[in-house]
Amino acid sequence: MTPPTPLLGSRTLDRATARTLPPGPRLPTLAQTVLFASHRSTYFPRLRAQYGDVFTIRLVPSSRVVVVLSRPDHIREVFGTPPTIAHAGESNTALEPIMGSHSLLLLDDDDHLRMRRQLMPAFNGHALRGYAEMIARLAREEVDQWPIGTPFRLHERMRDLTLEVILQVVFGVTDSERLDRLRPLVDKVVSVRPVIMLGGFYPTLLKLPPWRTYLRVQQQVDEILYDEIARRRTDPKLAERNDVLSKLLAAGTWSDVELRDQLVTLLLAGHETTATSLAWAFHELARNPDLLRAGQQAADAGDDDYLEAIAKESLRLHPVVYQVGRRLTEPTEIAGYRLPRGTTLMAAIGLVQADEQNYPDVKAFQPERFLGEDAPPPGTWIPFGGGTRRCIGAGFSLLEATEILRAALTRYDVRAAAKPEPAKPRNVTLVPAKGCTLTANPRA
C-alpha cells in the first residue's frame, strides 16, 4: 500500500503558505462544511462569483485546504497531472469503511493500475454488448408495472430498477430466495447517509450507533457476497455466465476480499448515480412534448445515439455528482498557483457544465449537443471524471440508461408539471426534490 499523504490543514499549514493560496471565504470550517454538504450547487456558484474561477475552502477533518477549480483548462491540468502526484484514492478516504480498502476508488499508484487492469475485461465493448439484453429485460419488466394515469415518483422506481440491474447483471444473483433476502439489505447499504462517511475520518465513531448499525447490515450483505463468490469459483459453467462477477473471476486473479470490495464499489458508485440521471432525463422529457416525441421516435427506430445523447445531456444539465477530488503528493503548479503537498484539489463538475461559455443556452435541455461533429469541447463534459481515473463503469451506465429509456419511451407518453423540480442533496448526489413526479399513459 502507498503511504498516505498528510492532509494540508490546520496542523500542517503555516501562515506564509496560507497567504499564497487562492482566495476564499473566512467562515469557520464547520460552517463551510455544512454549506458544501447541503447547498453545494448554490454555494459554489456564489463563491466563484465572489472569488473567481479558482478559490479555496476549508472542510473537515482538520480544516483541510480544498482548492476548487471551475475552468476546463485548469481541470485538464488536474486530470493530466501524473497519478503519482495527484492521488484520487486519498481524496476518497471517507469511503473506506463502506467500500473497503481494496476498492478501486481508494487505491493509488501501482495498486490502482493492477486493480483497474483486472476490472477492464468486464467493462470493454464486447462485455457491455453481452449485458444489453439482460438490462433490457429488467427494464421492460419494471416499466410494465408503472401505474397508468396516476402520478408517481419515478426516482424511487429508477432506484429499484438500477438496484435490480446490479443484483442480477453485476452480482449475477438470479435465485429468487436470495434476491428477496438481498434487496432490503442492499437498499439499506446504498442509502448510506453523509454522517456515516464521517467514520472514514474518525474511526472511533464506527463503534457507536448509527455507524455500528450500518456496519452490521453491511456484514450481512458481505456474508451473502462471499458465499456467492465461493459458489461462482466452483461453478463448472463459469465461462458461460454473462454477469460482471463471473467475467471478473474468469479474467483476473482475485482474493475474495478484493472481489467483495469491487462489487460493493460498483453497487454504491453505480446505483444512485444512474437512477438519478435517468430520473432527471424523464423529468426533462415529461415537460417538453417535442423532446418527448424525438425520444420516442429514437426509441422506435433503434437510434441508440439519440437515446444516449438524452442520457448525456441529463448528466450535463443535472450533474449527479457535483465534484471529484485529488490530493497532491508533492508541491505542484495548478491554475497558476504553486500548491503545497497535501492540498486537496476539487474539480467542480457542476460549475463547468453550467457555464454559458462552455454551453450556449446553458439552462436548456438539448440532447443534440452530443450529436454530430460539434460535440462539447474536451474537458467541458466530465460527469465520469477524467484522465486515468475516469469512471470505469461509464460505458455500463450509458448502456443501462439507453436500454431503460428505450423500454419506457416505446410504451408511454409521460407528463409532469411545467415547473421544474429543484435539486436537493442526497448523500453525495443531487436528486430531484420531489422525486421526479410524473404521470404515464400508454402511447396512442
Collapsed DSSP state (helix, strand, coil) of residue 403: helix
How many Cβ atoms are within 10 Å of 264's Cβ, its own excluded?
23
Residue 10: inside a domain, yes or no?
Answer: no
Q: What is the pLDDT along the chain (444 residues), one digit of tens a residue?
A: 557 899 999 999 999 999 999 999 999 999 999 999 889 999 999 999 999 999 999 999 999 999 999 999 999 999 999 999 999 999 998 888 889 999 999 999 999 999 999 999 999 999 999 999 999 999 999 999 999 999 999 999 999 999 999 999 999 999 999 999 999 999 988 888 777 877 877 888 888 888 899 899 999 999 999 999 999 999 999 999 999 999 999 988 999 999 999 999 999 999 999 999 999 999 999 999 999 999 999 999 999 999 999 999 999 999 999 999 999 999 999 999 999 999 999 999 999 999 999 999 999 999 999 998 888 888 899 999 999 999 999 999 999 999 999 999 999 999 999 899 999 988 778 899 999 999 999 998
Q: What is the tally of structural domains in the chain?
A: 1
Q: Identify the domain containing residue 53 by its residue range.
A: 15-442
Domain-embedded: residue 105: yes
- Best CA proximity match to 131, nearest among 157, 162, 161, 168: 168
Whether 415 is in a domain gets the answer yes
- Sheet strand arrangement including 324-328: 54-59, 64-69, 344-347, 324-328, 86-87
Look at residue 408 and tell me if it is in a domain. yes
Q: Is residue 263 part of a domain?
A: yes
What dihedral angle (degrees, nearest 10) is formed by the CA atoms of 215, 217, 223, 229? -90
Looking up residue 136, the CATH number of its domain turns out to be 1.10.630.10
On whether residue 6 sits in a domain, the answer given is no
Reported pTM: 0.95
Residue 220 lies in a domain: yes
Does residue 1 lie within any of the structural domains? Answer: no
Q: In angstroms, rounded to a whole number, what is the distance separating the alpha carbons of residues 50 and 53?
A: 9
> Distance between CA atoms of 49 and 51, rounded to whole angstroms?
6
